Structure 1
Amino acid sequence: MQTNLLQNILRTILGFFMTLAGVGHLTFQRQEFLAQVPRWLPQDPTFMDFVVLSSGVVEISFGLALLFWAKERIRVGILLSIFFVLIFPGNISQYTNGISAFGLDTDTKRLIRLFFQPVLILWALYSTGALRYLLEKSKNR
């Protein structure tokens, strides 16, 4: 299943975004990402740091896979969309606990941020061809 030029451009942008975000987890945005660790998880600093670092490694892996693993782009898109669903509780926690990070310093900004997660999910699915693949698969059932 081929992807078109727009999908390839969007996949490349998302790949760079994911790689940069992952590097941020490991370095210059580490404190910001610590603020997004859900409050219902253990608040032990070592555990929280592990969550941030490991999710950073996962994000770098997804970013590089989007950029360089074209053969598996549909699987990568599906897995990345699942990852976006799995990290959504961190965004909800940031909103419900009023935690300022990444310039989200008001409840309104934190609430608006929640509506961007579905956009990321669709971006991952569309840009990799996974959305078309899943729609066609569901039609053939």
Structure 2
Amino acid sequence: MKKRSTVFLVIILILLTPILINIFSKVIAPDKILFIGHQIDEHRFDFTEEIKNEKKILKFEEIFDNLNFVTEEWYPEKYADLVFRIDHKGGTFTHFYKVWINDKEAIILSAFDSVSGLTSIAKLSNEQINDLESIIH
């Protein structure tokens, strides 16, 4: 009888292990993760780095939330140098930006309407680029 109970308990534990691991990972997961990558083609991106440090993510959000985005017609000549996205614990993502960097500034694209050709863009100053680099490195 003891042997049967032990076997039954082991089987129950084996079956419950994936569920418990899933619950545990959701509980300890950070509220936000900043993903950094590059653009592969028109619609695909490769996110190769992730930042879980809350202070760095808050600093990133502060930089991008304070930008003045304007809607205008703009067509990039190449794919973005950097792509950012923040994934939230609840399964949503925000702060999806494409970034083109040149010597003096960076152009940020937050939205693109392929029908009208209008985009929402902003520019980062050299100082803001340095702040961004300190976050991602």
RCO (CA 8 Å, sep 6+): is it higher in 1 or 2?
1
Q: Normalising to structure 1: TM-score of the pair?
A: 0.28
Whichever structure has more strand as a proportion of its residues is 2
Whichever structure has more helix as a proportion of its residues is 1
Q: Normalising to structure 2: TM-score of the pair?
A: 0.29
